[in-house]
C-alpha cells in the first residue's frame, strides 16, 4: 500500500433493485498509504447529502463500511474523502479487500460501483455498525445472514413463478412460429444468405440515413460517415483495434448504441463518441484520448450540449474499398 495507485470507477444508480443509468464516477488515489476519494456526480445529484460506504462480500451479503458523508457540491475539489488505505473506515479492511463502494442520499437514491465481477444487489446491502466492522459481534452478522436467506427464499419463489410464465409464453410463441408459412421462411433465408455473400468482409456498420445532408454539416472536411460498434474496428483496421476496449468509447456506446466513423477528404479518419459536454465528461474524454468536441443535436438529450467527442485515427483502407 506504500506505492502509488490511481483508478476511476463509474457510478450507476439503482432503481427498484435494478441497475439504471450512469450518474458519475469516483476517482481513487493511493499515495504513501493514504487513500483519497474524489466524488463526481451529475448535476441532478448535486447539493444532496450523501453517505459513502466501502463494501465487502460475505456469505452472499454486501456489507457496508461507513467511510464518511458529504454535501455534494458543484465544485469537485470539495467532494473529497480521505482514509487509511490499509484500514478503511477503521474497520481493519484495506482498500485491496473492498469490492466496491455504495452511495446513499437523504432523498433515498441508491448508487454504487463495483470493481469485482459480481453484481450489486441493493436488497443484499447491510450497513455494519462499529462493533460489526471490527468483528466483535458475530451475532449481528448471523441475524443479517438469516434475513438474507429469507430474502433469497422469496426471490426464488418469485423467479420460479416468472420462469413458469416465461415458459408458457415461450411455448405459445413457438406454436405461432410453427404455423407460419414455410415458403416465407425459405425466402427470408435465401435473402439473408445472398446479402451475406455480397457483403463478404465488408464493414457490418449501419450507414447514417441522412448521410448526404449531415456528413458535410457535422464535419465539413468529411465526405462520408458511418455508425459502427466497437467490434467493427477489428474488421476495419488492425491499427484501430486499440480503441475496442477504450473505457470512454465503451461508455458512450452503452448509452447511445453506436460510435461514429467519418472519412475526411484528405484520407484521414475521425472516430467520434456520442455524449454531452460538461466538465466531468471533458475530464474523462481527455483522459481516454478524445480531446475535441463537436456540438451536434442527439436524440434524447434535452438539457445541455450534445454532440461527439472525437479524435483522429489511423486510415481505414478496408472500409474505404468496400464503401466506394
pLDDT per residue over 279-318, tens digit each?
Answer: 989 999 999 999 999 999 888 888 889 999 999 887 765 4
On the CB side of 64, CA atoms within 13 Å amount to: 22
How much is the mean pLDDT over the chain?
80
pTM confidence score: 0.45
Q: What is the pLDDT of residue 203?
A: 42
**Residue 318, SS3 per DSSP:** helix
Residue of 57, 59, 69, 65 lying closest to 120 (CA atoms): 57
Domain boundary among 76, 107, 137: 137
Q: 212 lies in a domain?
A: yes
Domain that holds residue 279: 206-323
Q: 284 lies in a domain?
A: yes
Count: domains in the chain: 2
Q: What is the pLDDT of residue 303?
A: 82
Q: 314 lies in a domain?
A: yes
Q: 244 lies in a domain?
A: yes
Q: 260 lies in a domain?
A: yes
Residue of 77, 71, 92, 88 lying closest to 34 (CA atoms): 88
- 229 and 258 Cβ atoms separated by less than 8 Å: yes
- pLDDT score of 78 more than 80: no
Q: 36 lies in a domain?
A: yes
Q: What is the pLDDT of residue 53?
A: 96
Q: 160 lies in a domain?
A: no
160-200 pLDDT, tens digit each: 888 888 888 887 777 777 777 677 777 777 676 555 544 43
Q: What is the pLDDT of residue 36?
A: 94
Q: 97 lies in a domain?
A: yes
Amino acid at each position: 500500500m506504500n506505492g502509488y495507485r490511481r483508478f476511476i470507477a463509474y457510478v450507476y444508480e439503482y432503481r427498484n433493485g435494478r441497475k439504471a443509468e450512469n450518474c458519475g464516477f469516483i476517482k481513487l488515489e493511493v499515495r504513501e498509504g493514504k487513500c483519497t476519494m474524489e466524488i463526481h456526480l451529475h448535476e441532478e445529484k448535486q447539493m444532496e447529502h450523501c453517505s459513502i460506504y466501502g463494501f465487502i462480500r460475505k456469505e452472499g451479503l454486501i456489507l457496508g463500511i461507513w467511510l464518511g458523508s458529504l454535501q455534494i457540491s458543484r465544485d469537485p475539489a470539495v467532494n473529497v474523502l480521505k482514509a487509511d488505505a490499509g484500514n478503511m473506515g477503521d474497520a481493519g479492511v484495506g482498500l485491496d479487500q473492498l469490492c466496491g463502494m455504495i452511495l446513499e442520499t437523504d432523498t433515498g437514491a441508491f448508487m454504487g460501483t463495483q470493481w469485482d465481477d459480481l453484481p450489486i444487489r441493493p436488497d443484499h446491502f447491510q450497513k455494519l455498525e462499529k462493533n460489526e466492522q471490527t468483528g466483535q459481534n458475530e451475532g449481528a452478522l448471523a441475524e443479517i445472514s438469516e434475513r438474507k436467506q429469507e430474502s433469497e427464499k422469496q426471490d426464488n419463489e418469485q423467479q420460479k413463478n416468472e420462469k413458469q410464465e416465461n415458459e408458457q409464453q415461450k411455448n405459445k410463441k413457438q406454436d405461432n412460429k410453427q404455423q407460419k408459412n414455410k415458403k416465407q421462411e425459405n425466402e427470408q433465408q435465401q435473402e439473408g444468405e445472398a446479402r451475406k455473400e455480397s457483403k463478404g468482409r465488408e464493414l457490418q456498420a449501419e450507414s447514417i440515413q441522412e448521410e448526404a445532408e449531415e456528413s458535410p454539416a457535422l464535419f465539413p472536411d468529411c465526405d462520408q460517415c458511418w455508425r459502427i460498434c466497437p467490434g467493427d474496428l477489428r474488421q476495419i483496421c488492425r491499427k484501430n483495434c486499440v480503441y475496442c476496449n477504450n473505457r470512454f468509447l465503451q461508455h458512450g456506446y452503452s448509452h447511445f448504441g453506436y460510435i461514429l466513423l467519418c472519412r475526411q477528404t484528405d484520407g484521414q479518419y475521425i472516430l467520434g463518441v456520442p455524449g454531452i459536454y460538461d466538465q466531468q465528461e471533458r475530464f474523462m474524454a481527455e483522459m481516454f484520448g478524445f480531446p475535441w468536441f463537436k456540438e451536434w443535436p442527439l436524440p434524447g438529450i434535452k438539457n445541455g450540449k450534445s454532440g461527439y467527442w472525437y479524435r483522429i485515427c489511423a486510415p481505414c483502407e478496408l472500409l474505404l474499398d468496400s464503401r466506394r
